[in-house]
Amino acid sequence: MVPSPSTSAPAETCGPVLPGSVCAVKLRCVFLLKCVSRRVCVCVCPVSYVERGRQHRWRCAQVTFTCPTEASCQRWVAGIRELLAANASRPRRLLVYINPYGGKKQGKRIYEQKVAPLFARAGVSTHVIVTEYANHARDHLRTEAELKQFDGVVCVGGDGMFSEIIHGLIWRTQVDGSVDPGCPDETLSPCSLRVGIIPAGSTDCICFATVGTNDPVTSALHIIVGDSQAMDVCSIHHNNTFLRYSVSLLGYGFYGDVLTDSERKRWMGPARYDLSGLKMFLTHHYYEGTVSYLPARGILGTPRDGARCRSGCVVCQHNGQLLSEKAERYETENDGEWRTIRGKFLAINAASMSCACPRSPKGLSPAAHLADGTTDLILVRKCSRFNFLRHLLRHTSKDDQFDLTFVEVHRVRRFRFTPRHCQSDSDLELDLRENNKGQIFSQICTDHPACGCAPAYSSWNCDGEILTHTAIDVRVHCQLIKLFARGIEELESGLCVTVT
Ligand SMILES: CCCCCCCCCCCCC/C=C/[C@@H](O)[C@H](COP(=O)(O)O)NC(=O)CCCCC
Ligand SMILES: Nc1ncnc2c1ncn2[C@@H]1O[C@H](COP(=O)(O)OP(=O)(O)O)[C@@H](O)[C@H]1O
Ligand SMILES: [Ca+2]
């Protein structure tokens, strides 16, 4: 038996090991290979690979192979290096943006201590930019970044920072492809560069909902092995003027108010959301307006079918293909099927993905899909505080979030919202008639901000950023971007099944 080398990992003999055995399974995940020493007639070769831990966490583990001769060791090293080089999905050069200001202000430390050493071991080279101001990364991507030099972009920060990155990338892709990014009816060109998220923000919903955890090491390993996950993007316009893109939560009412209030408490870090959440729950504001939507037709899946979007999701594959092949026909066929709902709402949420995060492990719409070309429009009508609490508690429990009389959900391709105070004269007249001499307007008191009446309108929380307008037109662009992720894996615990 060959003696173990002086590393903490157990030694395994390489010579007799054949492809298909346990070692070969691990070699599929290899990203580091280096011959470190030679003993008498023995070559020692540590190989790093990915090991799955609990709750979707990945860790880098190491196995040490020993070969009886230097020549056989070199053959193994060369063979594995060749396999790795032939794998085109693994990135070799990455453009990294770090937000030093997000979350608990740990972005730089997290990257330097947990991520950079892994990239170095895997032979991934990087160009790192620590942002100096908000929108630095977005503007750099739009105008300066030499994107041809890179295989992907990495974002170290929270959902707001990720939003900056995709705004830069999407805009740049459209301009390079002569597509007008400002037009709401334009078919946008998908971005070719994948984006990796190293979570270092306050909610980290986009990372959590695409990987299953907000762990920087896990995300770094998904980037290194070259995973790919397509993702829908919503474009948001106001009067045909482009406002923003959104990939996770677009929330008016409760979530808009929480965000507005929490920005003033940024010094508190992620805890600001808990305090603002409690405050806005107690405030219990409702808002009037009109929601119109184009239901998603002819696709697989409904918001209440209990089918979670998981790695290799068939719903996303099916709907993605359908929408890319028949996009034009589909849009035309559905024109004219707009539905309209007027009312008083505590919250209007559009979840383009589950929006799972540590605060809400199933998310706001547990059966929403990452890449099916739709968003789940959730309307929470005015109800008592007690009922609203029941609704909020369902974000954290196993009960059906939508099985409440004052909550409805629609899977849609497009929707519009007009707050009551922006409605046209004819709509207002209709409201007056429908609501018996305008009692519906009793809460509105914009002229008397000091009188303590409820405000007439809220703001939209768009992936953690406040929108400047309340009347919006939202359209889903199926699979516009790609992440270095593979969706949440559903594995039997302890099983390693990545051999493909
Ligand atoms: C009484 C129990 C109530 C429990 C309610 C918990 C509900 C939590 C749902 C959170 C959904 C989050 C959707 C994601 C939003 C993020 O994009 C956004 C910005 O993130 P980041 O840039 O990382 O800061 N986060 C929020 O808007 C925070 C919402 C928190 C609401 C309590
Ligand atoms: N260097 C910087 N200084 C100030 N703000 C920044 C900087 N870099 C990025 N930002 C902005 O910080 C905001 C929050 O970033 P994010 O990473 O999402 O953290 P959090 O999750 O805590 O909100 C985003 O709106 C982003 O545009
Ligand atoms: Ca979706």
Q: How do residues 227-258 score in pLDDT, each as one tens digit?
A: 999 999 999 999 999 999 999 999 999 999 99
Ligand 2 pocket test, pick from 96, 97, 101, 130 with the greatest ligand atom count within 8 Å of Cβ, gives 101
Whole-number pLDDT of residue 442? 38
Domain contains 419: yes
- The tally of domains found in the chain comes to 3
Domain contains 497: no
Interface predicted TM-score (ipTM):
0.96
Backbone angles phi, psi at 59, to 5 degrees: -130, 155
Q: Which band of pLDDT confidence, cut at 50, 70 and 90, is reported for residue 475?
A: very high
Q: Same structural domain for residues 70 and 194?
A: no
Residue 172 structure tokens: 């740049």
Q: Would you call 159 a catalytic residue per the annotation?
A: yes
Domain contains 433: no
Domain contains 1: no
Q: How far apart are CA 215 and CA 60, in angstroms?
A: 13
Q: Which band of pLDDT confidence, cut at 50, 70 and 90, is reported for residue 455?
A: confident
Q: Same structural domain for residues 466 and 379?
A: yes
Q: Same structural domain for residues 173 and 296?
A: no
Domain contains 160: yes
Q: Same structural domain for residues 245 and 215?
A: no
Domain contains 340: yes
Domain that holds residue 416: 232-423+445-476
Q: How do residues 418-441 score in pLDDT, each as one tens digit?
A: 998 765 555 555 544 554 443 333
Q: Same structural domain for residues 332 and 223?
A: no
The residue-averaged pLDDT of 106-130 equals 97
Which atom of ligand 2 has the smallest separation from the CA of 136? 8
Q: Same structural domain for residues 168 and 240?
A: no
* The last residue of a domain, from among 40, 55, 87: 87
Residues sharing a CB contact under 8 Å with residue 321, sequence separation 6 or more, in sequence order? none
Q: How do residues 254-302 score in pLDDT, each as one tens digit?
A: 999 999 999 999 999 999 999 999 999 999 999 999 999 999 988 899 9
93-107, 324-338, 340-354, 360-374: the lowest-pLDDT one: 324-338
Domain contains 6: no
Strand partners, 439: none
Q: Same structural domain for residues 257 and 217?
A: no
CA 102 to centroid of ligand 2, rounded, Å: 5
Q: Same structural domain for residues 152 and 75?
A: no
Residue 183: which CATH number? 3.40.50.10330
Q: Same structural domain for residues 165 and 249?
A: no
Q: Same structural domain for residues 260 and 393?
A: yes
Q: How far apart are CA 415 and CA 431, in angstroms?
A: 20
Domain contains 430: no
Q: Same structural domain for residues 140 and 256?
A: no
Tell me which residues have their CB closer than 6 angstroms to ligand 1: 158-160, 201-205, 248-249, 255, 258-259, 273, 277, 355, 357, 359-360, 364, 392-393, 395-396, 461, 463-464
* The last residue of a domain, from among 37, 72, 87: 87
Q: Same structural domain for residues 198 and 321?
A: no
CA 21 to centroid of ligand 3, rounded, Å: 39
Beta strands in 99-164 (DSSP E): 125-130, 152-157
